[in-house]
Structures are given as C-alpha cells and as structure tokens.
Structure 1
Amino acid sequence: MATEGEYESVLCVKPDVNVYRIPPRASNRGVRAADWKLDAPDWTGRMRVTARGKVAYVKLEDKISGELFAQAPVEEYPGIAVETVSDSSRYFVLRIQDDGGRSAFIGIGFGDRGDSFDFNVALQDHFKYVDATYYFSSIKLIFELEADPTVPASRI
C-alpha cells in the first residue's frame, strides 16, 4: 500500500456514475451487465480515481457533499479490483473494500461511452507509469552497483 509521506494525485473525475447490486456469479463465465437492473441503479454519484504511490483508488462520492460512499483500492489493472463486463464497454465490476478489509463486488456504469473510456485509460496510464518507474529504478540500481568497487561482480 501507500507509504507515509506520499501524496495523492487525481487521475480522473467523472461526475455521473451509477452503482448496481450485482447477482452472485453463476459460473466462471464473464459477468454481463444485462443481468443487472440497469434501469434502476442502487446509487448515483461522482467517481474520482486517485493514486497514492503504486496503488490507484476508485472512490465513489456523493455529488453534493463529497462524502465517500465506497472505494476500491486497485493494485494492478487489469485485475480483481476492476473487471470489465462481457457485454458492454460502459460497465465494470468493482471490488470495494472498507477500512476493516472486508470487500464486496458491485457494478458501476457510465451513461456515456467516453466516460468509461477515460476511466479505463486513467487506470492503464497509472500502471504503465508504475511499471516504468519500477523498471528504471531497477536499471539505476544495477548501474550503481556496477560502479561500486566494493560490490563483488557475482552479487550484481
């Protein structure tokens, strides 16, 4: 997770997102948004995607007060925290988590395909940045070790 002193950056904000209760998975086939009650969302609000260190957070907030409704820590993408559905590009399954570590799966959806595209790209870009940062840090460490005469070559 994030370490002390890391700042939080905002990757994406979408003013309108719908949240749905989703039925339990019947099998290991992909989740379908058509199985949700798309005409009657269980909650509507704002979505803010932030990053702190290597972890991205999908935060669902009240549009007026900004009060946090739920959040999903995303440690890798694609992964279990955010999944696409098999029948639409506008809907996703989120694994939300409370402060105690308990988790649940909910559906989220956007009215506009462009909003879902922006959400997807924000997560992809964040993890490309994380991967590149890790890669270049590793390369830098190797060069530093090679330049240090006190480190035996067999340890590099």
Structure 2
Amino acid sequence: MNITLDPKQFRIEKTTRGAPCLIFENYKFRYGNKMKDEIRWRCTNKMCKATIKTNEKGITEKRTVHDHEPVCERRNLKKGSKLVGRIKLKSPSYFLPTRSTFGECKDSFENNETLAQSETEDVKPITRNGSSGQPVQFLPNEYQPQGEEIIVVNETPSHFMDLLYFSCAA
C-alpha cells in the first residue's frame, strides 16, 4: 500500500527527552527503526500495533488502527485533572477564616463556647494526619499557626492541650 501524503498533514517534534516523534491525526508515534531510505514509526502506546513508514517525501505506508484515544484528548484530560488538583489545593485557603479570627476562635474555646456558636459553621475538626476524629494532644507552648489553617488550643487539667486543625467541610 503506497500512500504519499503531503508533509503538512503530519509533523515531527521532539519529546521531553529529546527523541523524535511523529504526530499524525492526533496520535503520537515514536521512532522505530530505519530501513533503506524509510523510517518506521511505532505508536507510543505499548499495546497498540499502529505503525507508519515515512521517507523524505512523506508517508509511504500506514497501519493506523489504534485501540486507544488520540494524544491530544489524553493531554486535555491530564491538564483538566491537574487543574482540578490545583483548585482542591487552593480552595481551603479561600474558605477558611483568616489569621485575624484565630484569636477569636481561641477565646471562644477558652470561654467554653461551642464551635456552632462561632461564625465558622463551614469547618470541621480533623486530626493532624487528615482524618476526622479525636484531636492530637501536645504539650503547652508547642502550637504554631501553620499557613491559613485555624489551630485552636484548649488547655486541659492534665497540662495537655487539645490541638484542633480546621478544614473546609466539603
């Protein structure tokens, strides 16, 4: 099957590691081997059997039956998931109260006020490892505000402090 296509229908780029790759119909092919004056390209998906042969004029032979989606769609999915990941990382800083309310929360706990009475109804207590449950206990004077998280300290009679991290309730 001899097909000679215009070189404008495909493009040869370099991968992130500097190796040549061929992009054709949004599928990515890696350099396979060179035979006489032709170069054989294989699909970058290891399980896919699609191949293309090229020479200086263009594509001479193609077997492009793929069993996966094109590269550009996968890239868009990855970019979308990275964007969602960034939003998840940044969202608590937008929803949590600022450091100016740290003192108010601390005072409310010292005055035995409940969390429901304070203005922070959209937060839930979590432990240091991220799971909800009993707060971690620390010795006095060992707490520090970390970033934009609210840390509320309540001294107990046993000379331990209950330390609560608050995070946005999702």
TM-score, length-normalised on structure 2? 0.26
Larger Rg computed on CA atoms: 2
Greater length-normalized contact order (CA 8 Å, ≥ 6 residues apart):
1
TM-score, length-normalised on structure 1? 0.28
